[in-house]
Amino acid sequence: MKKEDTVKLISAEGFEFVIDKEAAMVSQTIRNMLTSPGSFAEREHGEVTFPEISTTILEKICQYFYWSLQYASLHWHETNLIMIKESRFTYSSSLALASKSRGKETDFHIEPELTLELMMAANYLHT
Amino acid sequence: MGGACSRKRGQVDNEDGLHGGVSGRYHKSCSSKWLMTSFSRPPLDIQRGEGKCPSLMELCAHKICEDIDKYSTFSMLPRDISQQIFNELVYSQRLTEISLQAFRDCALQDLYLGEYPEVNDKWMDVIASQGSSLLCVDLSGSDVTDSGLIHLKDCTNLQSLNFNYCDRISDHGLEQISGLSNLTSLSFRRNDAITACGMSAFAGLVNLVKLDLERCTRIQGGLVHLQGLTKLESLNIKWCNCITDYDMKPLSGLTNLKSLQISCSKVTDIGITYLRGLQKLTLLNLEGCPVTAACLESLSVLGALLYLNLNRCQLSDDGCEKFSKLGSLKVLNLGFNDITDACLVHLKGLTNLESLNLDSCGIGDAGLVNLTGLCHLKCLELSDTQVESSGLRHLSGLVNLESVNLSFTGVSDGGLRRLAGLSSLKSLNLDVRQITDAGLAALTSLTGLTHLDLFGARITDSGTAYLRNFKNLRSLEICGGGLTDAGVKHIKDLSSLSLLNLSQNCNLSDKTLELISGLTGLVSLNVSNSRITSAGLRHLKPLKNLRSLTLESCKVTANDIKRLQSIDLPNLVSFRPE
């Protein structure tokens, strides 16, 4: 993983999460910070500090970013699988794959005790 | 058979739609950002199915709603978040009197609870606790009473209140809201308890822009309290049949009025004279009022008038020359009046007209020559007139026409080629017994058609071959009795269809259902009076969007359909036999 493809998100407690830039860009707020012109330190160093987001919540948010990317790609896969089905190519195995990809990993689990705090952070991050 | 089964559609009073507004369940006057993101979006699971990733905000709101009993208060949350949770709860129908308690003092702005189940006075305490933050409240269809309205007294920033169909609110309730002078929109549709006396409460609502008292049957004499409401732009007193000429007088000074709906009242030509000063009036709905062409004298000075509805009034040719002065009109409804070709002469100069309704008027081919210059016409209603084939030549040049209704006229196959060049046409009603396959053959150039009604026309299997040209058809009705399964083969590829009516074709069999099983966009299907049997129902399983299914006089029982509904067609809400 090249350094320029990653960003560092820092929680209130100083905990650092290094994640793919692509994942972080799921958040409209982070995307703006990293891409908009101007003298954003964030843009220079690929580093964003969130003094009001706790480590637990920031971790959850990072999980969501990846879930969101995976969600998009799963749907892309499903479209492709349908195409494969139509060309009568490995019909049964693609069907199995499709049903697997629809399984429980497509649900994003949220612990009830985190929900309110997570929602406030999501609101801030525009995600 | 078939001709006897032809039917006339009910006249729909559609003034609400003239401004292009959505008349949906939660249609409100004040706009709110979340209205776009919450109510108008499909439920979360459907959204997932469509492949759009739910936002983390949506997932959290959804999660909170699932565990709503675990939360005792949201008052520590920023307002936009608690508002989103509230909206999600309403949307998912999980909000109850108990879960509402968590929203006490949340400074919410919008509480859209129109038609929400079990809302009553006990909800008002929490609703009112939003205090000065509260801007819009819709409690339409609730059991809220006069004493419930007392709570709103202190919500002095309220801008919009809807209490439609709240039959437990009376004059006393109005008294409670009389001090809410920031109100711009107020609605109390269908209320039999409000009288002139209670309407005195409106006098202080000096910022009111929109007032809706549709179907309030006892408000006669009460409009005098509106005299000082000079900001009023829209007044709806449709179906208040107590309203008389006397009630028009207080409206004469409301010069900011843009929209006035007094249909189905007792207002006559005399009452209309009071409206002469309303120079900003763009919409006037007089449907069903006992006015004659003499009222045109008063209306001719209303230079801003765009929409005029005189459907089912008492107009005759006498006095119709005044129509020529209404040159700004875009929409004119003259249906069901005793007017003839002599009246149409005076419409010649109304070149801004986009919609003209002459339903059931005494007009014929000769009169249509006066429409040839109305080149902006998009919609022309000639149903139940004496128009015949030779009159259609006058329509050939009206190339902007999008919708033409020729049902129950004397037109026959020979005249239809005159419509072939109307390339903008989207909707065509040819529910006419004389029309046959030959007529349809003349229309194959109309490839933009989305709605084609051939209900009573005598279309046979060979005629259906022409339907292949109408790839965009969303609704199709062919009920003349001449179709067999062979004809349905040409319908099965019209993949845009959402409404299909093939009833009265008594030779259609289960094969028809098999043929149309690929039309997965179908929302409504009618194959009544045919040889369909319960064995054929299995072919309908792929039609997951089906909401209405009618199979009267077939070998199908209500239980057969219910079984299909419970296992395969969960969206089916209306079916016959039932």
Give the pLDDT of residue A71. Answer: 87
Tell me whether residues A75 and B51 touch, CB distance under 8 A: yes
Q: In sequence order, which residues have a C-beta less than 8 Å from that of residue A73 and are 6 or more positions away?
A: none
Q: What is the mean pLDDT of residues A94-120?
A: 69
Query: Which pLDDT value is given to residue B27?
Result: 32
Please give the average per-residue pLDDT across B329-347, as a whole number.
97
d(CA B442, CA B456): 18
Distance of CA B562 to the CA centre of its chain: 30
- The structure tokens listed for B161 are 């209140």
- pLDDT, tens digit, for every residue of B365-389? 999 999 999 999 999 999 999 999 9
B53 reaches A (C-beta below 8 A): yes
For B211, the enclosing helix (H) or strand (E) is strand B210-212
Check if B51 contacts A (Cβ < 8 Å): yes
Q: Residue B563: which H helix or E strand, with range?
A: helix B558-567
Report the C-alpha gap between B477 and B430 in whole angstroms.
10
Alpha carbon of A127: minimum distance to chain B alpha carbons (Å): 6
Largest CA distance in chain A: 54
What percent of chain B has a predicted confidence (pLDDT) above 70?
91
As a whole number, the mean pLDDT across chain B is 91
Beta carbons of A120 and B56 less than 8 Å apart = no
| Closest residue, chain A, to B52 (C-alpha) | A72
From A46's Cα to the closest Cα of chain B, the distance in A is: 23
Which residue in A28, A77, A115 has the most chain B C-beta atoms within 10 A of its own C-beta, making it the best mutation to test that interface? A115
pLDDT tens, B510-525? 999 999 999 999 999 9
Cβ of B55 under 8 Å from any chain A Cβ? yes
Choose among A71, A106, A119: nearest Cβ to B57: A119
Kindly report the nearest CA distance between residue A102 and chain B, in angstroms: 10
Residue A5 has pLDDT above 80, yes or no: yes
Q: Which residues of A touch B71 (CB under 8 A)?
A: 116
Residues B6-50 pLDDT 10s:
444 444 444 444 443 333 333 333 333 222 323 333 334 434 445
Cβ-contact B447, B421 below 8 angstroms:
no
List chain A residues with CB under 8 Å of B73: none
Over residues B61-91, the pLDDT tens digits come to: 999 999 999 999 999 999 999 999 999 999 9
Tell me the pLDDT tens digit for each residue of B260-277: 999 999 999 999 999 999
- Residue B75 to chain A, least CA–CA distance (Å): 12
* Pick from A78, A116, A127: CB nearest B56: A127
Q: Using CB atoms and an 8 Å cut-off, which of residues 30-69 of chain A contact chain B?
A: 61, 64, 68
Say if CB B385 and CB B360 are below 8 A apart. Answer: yes
The predicted model gives B463-487 an average pLDDT of 96
The interface predicted TM-score (ipTM) is 0.81
- Other CB atoms within a 10 A radius of the CB of residue B2 amount to 21
- Is there a contact between B346 and B320 (Cβ–Cβ < 8 Å)? yes
Chain A residue with Cα closest to B75: A116
Is pLDDT above 60 for A93?
no
| pLDDT reported for residue A75 | 64
B301-319 pLDDT, tens digit each = 999 999 999 999 999 999 9
Q: State residue B6's pLDDT score.
A: 42
Contact B60 A108 (CB under 8 A): no
In the sheet with A6-10, reading across from the earlier edge strand, the strands are: A16-20, A6-10, A47-49
Give the model's pLDDT for residue A1.
62
Please identify among residues 97-126 of chain A the ones whose CB lies closer than 8 Å to any CB of chain B. Answer: 106, 108, 110, 112, 115-116, 118-120, 122-123, 125
Q: Which among B53, B56, B67 has CB closest to A122? A: B56
- State the helix-helix crossing angle for B56-66 and B79-91, rounded to 10 degrees: 60
Of B64, B59, B76, nearest in space to A60 by CA: B59
Pairwise CB contact (< 8 Å): A118 & B60: yes
Whether residue B412 contacts residue B434, with contact meaning beta carbons closer than 8 Å, is answered with: yes
Cα distance between residue B92 and residue B139, in whole Å = 17
Look at B61 and A119 and tell me if their CB atoms are within 8 Å: yes
Task: Test A127 with B61 for CB contact under 8 angstroms.
Answer: no
Asked if the C-beta of B44 comes within 8 angstroms of chain A's C-beta atoms, the answer is no
C-alpha separations of B504 from B2, B50, B98, B156, B546 in Å: 6, 37, 53, 60, 20
- pLDDT value at B204 more than 80: yes
- Mind listing the pLDDT tens digit for each residue in A36-76? 776 466 677 888 999 999 999 999 999 999 999 988 877 65
Q: For A127, which of B55, B61, B70 is closest by C-beta distance?
A: B55
Q: Are B434 and B411 in contact (CB under 8 A)?
A: yes
**CA dist list (Å): A66 to A12, A62, B55, B176:** 21, 7, 13, 54
pTM: 0.84
With contacts defined as CB-CB under 8 Å, which chain B residues touch A71? 53
Distance CA B544, CA B553 (A): 24
Rounded to the nearest 5 percent, the helix, strand and coil shares of chain B are 35, 10, 55
Where helices occur in chain A by DSSP H, the ranges are: 21-24, 28-35, 41-45, 55-86, 91-101, 115-125
pLDDT at residue B540, rounded to an integer? 97
Asked whether the beta carbons of B246 and B270 are under 8 A apart, the reply is no
Q: How far apart are CA B88 and CA B107, in angstroms?
A: 17
The residue in chain A having the minimum alpha-carbon distance to the alpha carbon of residue B49 is A75
